[in-house]
Structure 1
């Protein structure tokens, strides 16, 4: 079966919506889903990237590139876990086996926030700064779903689409609320910088 292309432009309150997860769902897509591998880093007391998409069964590692320790956790129904306080790279990855949205936090730095979107389809994309996401998938009938961290009430946008020979374009307008800025306070950044210079000095 030949591949078809879907291009989706997502906006919120009239502005391009970056970090929206666009996905195509069907019974055939579920059957074609395979686990991959994922990485979510911690840099300058922020999760990088802020939004990650994985397929069911995917193990994700959480390296810590900071000079301070972090304790990653989630209380989300799709995946509840808590990593021990650590620096560097934790021993074992976290496996995401259930579809859904998993909100990540850090027990030490409460401004740190990120999302893992676990899907049972291999056909997905994350929108760029222009709100643009592209998916190549076999021709057929799908349910298009769009999720964004700022969706009011967390309700997904859904619609039925048919992919055929010609590329298909969709414009999706979402009702979004502002999401917290995952930015370290200035004094925390200063402490991290001081710690970095102290270690450099000690290693001379």
Structure 2
């Protein structure tokens, strides 16, 4: 068996080292004006590189909630809506970025929904008024959402300058908030952000207490049998 030419192996190793040297990490921590972590905030970056290719994503339904509550996707991503509850759901959106309806179903619909226009898509369920979810569709090549502690992380970024945008469902007018520019080098970067988050309206539907889920199930069962 012929050996891999030594000069090619050296060149490949040098190329990998070069690529690794230019890969950068950016970590962000997002809090509200009171210094409390903000989960479900979407960070997007515009800068060098094309980001990671994304063809599909999942918006789950568990315990009568959308999971995750906020799902960022790139434009033209196909999103599946599996229903992992023991009751049927009916998913809909009237948002200009994507109007659609998945009629009462169990399991997973045969075809995912393609989100082909950037913007905010607000999800609801005709059976459970408290179920609300958000799909943030972006043209930006780099994007992620903060975790329960308000942290977000980008790995393997090309070193360079990036323009940062933040969005959250409780942002003013639900509009993206520009956050200026950052310079990321191969040493990585950490940055804290304070985001103005509006409190939820007093009349926002709330999930029933655990003791009331039986009543909610009965109501939904009656509706689905019609």
TM-score interval (norm. to shorter): 0.7 to 0.9
TM-fit CA distance, 1:53: 1.5
Measure the CA separation in 1 of the matches of 2:97 and 2:52: 18
- Partner residue in 2 for 1:112: 131
Q: Which has the larger radius of gyration?
A: 2
Measure the CA separation in 1 of the matches of 2:41 and 2:191: 14
- Partner residue in 1 for 2:162: 142
Measure the CA separation in 2 of the matches of 1:167 and 1:160: 15
TM-score (norm 2): 0.76
- Partner residue in 2 for 1:84: 103
- Partner residue in 1 for 2:6: none
Measure the CA separation in 2 of the matches of 1:12 and 1:142: 23
Q: Does the alignment pair 1:183 with 2:204?
A: no
- Partner residue in 2 for 1:17: 38
SS in structure 2 at match of 1:189: helix
TM-fit CA distance, 1:181: 6.8
Q: Please list every run of 5 or more consecutive structure 2 residues that lacks an aligned counterpart in the other structure.
A: 1-18, 220-226
Query: Deviations 1:141-199 (Å, cap 9, x if unpaired)?
Result: 2211111121122232211222223222221111112245762455751146679xxxx
TM-score (norm 1): 0.84
SS in structure 1 at match of 2:161: strand
Q: Please list every run of 5 or more consecutive structure 1 residues that lacks an aligned counterpart in the other structure.
A: 196-204
Conserved in 2, the CA contact under 8 Å of 1:47 and 1:112? Answer: yes
Query: Deviations 1:3-43 (Å, cap 9, x if unpaired)?
Result: 211111111122111111111113x55x5563321111212
Q: In the superposition, relative to structure 1, how do residues 36 and 166 fare at CA in structure 2: closer, same or farther (>3 Å)?
A: same
RMSD, aligned CA: 2.3
Conserved in 1, the CA contact under 8 Å of 2:93 and 2:122? Answer: yes
Query: Which residue of 71, 78, 92 maps to 1:59?
Result: 78
The alignment of Structure 1 onto Structure 2 pairs a total of residues equal to 193
Q: Does the alignment pair 1:164 with 2:164?
A: no
